[in-house]
Amino acid sequence: MLSGFVCDERLLDYKTGSGAHVFSVTNDLIEPYFHIDNSLSKKRLYNLIKKLNLLDDLRIIKVRKADTNEISLIHEIEYINKIKSLSEANGGDAGYGTPFSKNAFEIASLGIGGLIDLSEKVFLREIKNGFALIRLPGHHALENTGYGFCIFNNVAIAAECLKKKHNLSRIAILDWDVHHGNGTEKIFYDRSDVLYISIHQHNCYPDNSGFSSDRGFNRGFGYNININVPAGSGHASYIYAFQEIVIKALEIYEPQIIFVCCGFDSSGIDPLSRTLCHADTFRYMTKNLLKLAEEICDGKVVISQEGGYSETHVPFCGLAVIEELVDGKRRYLDPVKDTILNQGGETLLDHQKNMINESLESLNILKFN
């Protein structure tokens, strides 16, 4: 059985709009440049797996436009119509630092439609697992506004579509993007049918979000687990968090399918974080997640692209994930791993362990729910 893969040239050619790196507005002192959330890192990932003939080992799932009924399972109709109208003109800003250009609605809906179909095929075991290399990112988006480059919450929509169609009661969303997925957290914060686990750099983005003490509300109490790692954390911190909290939480919850919000921005050379992960960090997490998934949900894992802003390193981090999904064979070494290792991250320091351990209480609450 092949792994599924969603991608389309239209997604990879999308340009966010004007700006200069993280600045949405330019002036006499801030010269125009490309926006930080551009498609180049994703296009280079696609080119790399194509060059290594990995596409031959993947089942390509065509994109299609998600319809309003699907998107509105998560987002308010008024907000959807606003984005669609602005997109048909010259673009705009979806809110909280989310500029978008003409045709952004079409690009986003194509990616969401592809992710929905990929999820369906994984759940029905038509493919063994899947990776969606889609644009735009999604995990910051709220029901009625964009946030942090995200217009629509791709994974939340796909998960809700699958839940409605198959009457699912236990879906897990693991988010290893370096920034806290505040949108996904809020959407499912008072629900027990979705377990949300986020590993992120402490207070990196958004400000004052993703604390270990934020554990859900009412029926959802205990089903929201935030794992913070301090700036300077690397491979060792992520492995410890994965072994001590992520795996154990998934074992307790026994989801029927696992989604991954897959950001590669914890890379040691990413411009929007201060963490020290490398391709083998993502390889380890994917390999061990797949191993557990075979035991608890028949291997049903769907991984969806989120952030990652190092145009040169994202391709090798993404390659490691896709290799594990396909067959676990290493085809090319991470060319900047040694550079990252020289900066630290391979030894778990006491302050890193202590911060991660703040989430152990969330694990205990989940255990007794």
Active site residues: 140
CB 204 within 8 A of CB 91: no
DSSP 183-223: HHHHHTTT-SSEEEEEEEETTSSSTT---TT----GGGTTS
Q: How far apart are the C-alpha atoms of 128 and 327, rounded to whole Å?
A: 11
CB 126 within 8 A of CB 226: no
Amino acid 123 reads F
| Vertex 80: Cα angle to 119 and 82 (nearest 5) | 155
Alpha helical stretches, state H, the chain: 9-12, 40-51, 68-71, 77-88, 104-123, 154-166, 182-187, 235-241, 247-253, 279-296, 314-326, 337-341, 350-357, 360-367
Tokens of 342: 């020289």
Query: DSSP secondary structure string, 126-188?
Result: SSS-EEE--SS--TT-BTTB-BTTBSS-HHHHHHHHHHHHHT-S-EEEEE-SSS--HHHHHHT
Structure tokens of 95?
Answer: 């809110």
**10 Å Cβ neighbour count for 165?**
12
Reduced to 3 states (helix: H, G, I; strand: E, B; else coil), residue 76 is: coil
Tell me how many degrees the CA angle 301-307-310 measures, rounded to the nearest 5. Answer: 120
